[in-house]
Structures are given as structure tokens and as C-alpha cells.
């Protein structure tokens, strides 16, 4: 199921079923959102989108996704500020920063602020693998 923050939202809900994984993609560039979606939509779940940090915070509050894939450079609210807002209320949120800026300082800042992981935009295959591995681990621990 594809949702975007510009479309009417379903009633407040957390997940459609216990087996689905909800992923929120927060990225201001529509082409990049489509590219990220293409890498993660194979994962059993629901993908929603946000076009900036503010809509990412709203989407997190409404849907409580299992994963947030957060760009850094967004306006009016950047991804690091949005991540801080989400983590202040939901310290267990799993936020992966997905950025074209891969310098050590940006990476260490994002991780120090509470990012679960940091993935470069040119390495999106590792993003899918990271999420898939954690889903498999989570399901295995339930059995």
C-alpha cells in the first residue's frame, strides 16, 4: 500500500497486521523517494512518505512506523532536527539517516544524535539488507 503525506490518511493506526513492517521515507526529492522505495518495497510491509522533516514528525506520530529513512537536507525542517523531535518522544524509534553527505563529521553527528544507522544514498542496497536482517531477527525471536 502506498501512502504519501499529501494524500488523505487512514484513520489513526499503528500497523495493518502483525506481520507487516511499516517504513517511513522522509525525503524532499521525489525521484530519490522513488529510488529508495524501489529498494525497500520488497520488504513485507507498508511504505509511507514524507516530503520534509515536519511531515516526517507528523507521519511518525500518526503511524508509528517500524523504520524511518531520513534525509538530512530538507526544508523547512531538516532531517536531524526531525529525528531529534521524534526521538525525544519515542526513544526506541529506529531512524536510519540516508544522506549523500558521507563525511565522518556528518555520520558521527547523526549517530551521536541517536540514529540507528547511517547509509549513503549511493549504497541503498545495504539499506534494504539492514532492514531485512533486523526483520528476520525480530521474527526469529518471536518463535
Asked if the structure places residue 9 within a domain, the reply is: no
- Look up the domain containing 40 and give its range: 18-142
Asked if the structure places residue 75 within a domain, the reply is: yes
Q: What is the pLDDT of residues 54-81, one digit of tens each?
A: 999 999 999 999 999 999 999 999 999 9
Asked if the structure places residue 57 within a domain, the reply is: yes
- Is there a contact between 19 and 44 (Cβ–Cβ < 8 Å)? yes
- Is there a contact between 143 and 29 (Cβ–Cβ < 8 Å)? no
Q: How confident is the model at residue 44 (pLDDT cuts 50, 70, 90)?
A: low
Cβ burial of 103 (10 Å; 0-12, 13-18, 19+) is exposed
Q: Where residue 77 sits, what CATH number does that domain have?
A: 3.40.50.2300
pLDDT over threshold 80, residue 17: no
The pTM for the full model equals 0.85
Asked if the structure places residue 7 within a domain, the reply is: no
Asked if the structure places residue 119 within a domain, the reply is: yes
Q: How confident is the model at residue 19 (pLDDT cuts 50, 70, 90)?
A: low
Domain count, the chain: 1
Cβ burial of 97 (10 Å; 0-12, 13-18, 19+) is buried
Asked if the structure places residue 12 within a domain, the reply is: no
Amino acid at each position: 500500500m502506498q501512502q504519501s503525506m499529501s494524500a488523505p490518511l487512514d484513520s489513526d493506526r499503528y500497523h495493518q497486521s502483525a506481520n507487516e513492517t511499516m517504513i517511513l521515507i522522509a525525503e524532499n526529492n521525489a525521484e530519490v523517494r522513488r529510488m529508495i522505495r524501489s529498494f525497500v518495497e520488497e520488504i513485507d510491509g507498508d511504505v509511507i512518505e514524507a516530503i520534509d522533516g515536519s511531515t516526517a514528525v507528523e507521519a511518525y506520530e500518526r503511524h508509528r512506523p517500524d523504520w524511518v529513512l531520513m534525509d538530512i537536507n530538507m526544508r523547512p525542517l531538516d532531517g536531524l532536527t526531525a529525528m531529534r523531535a521524534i526521538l525525544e518522544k519515542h526513544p526506541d524509534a529506529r531512524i536510519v539517516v540516508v544522506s549523500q553527505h558521507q563525511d565522518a563529521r556528518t555520520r558521527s553527528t547523526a549517530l551521536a544524535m541517536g540514529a540507528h544507522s547511517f547509509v549513503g544514498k549511493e549504497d541503498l542496497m545495504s539499506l534494504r539488507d539492514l532492514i531485512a536482517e533486523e526483520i528476520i531477527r525480530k521474527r526469529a525471536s518471536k518463535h
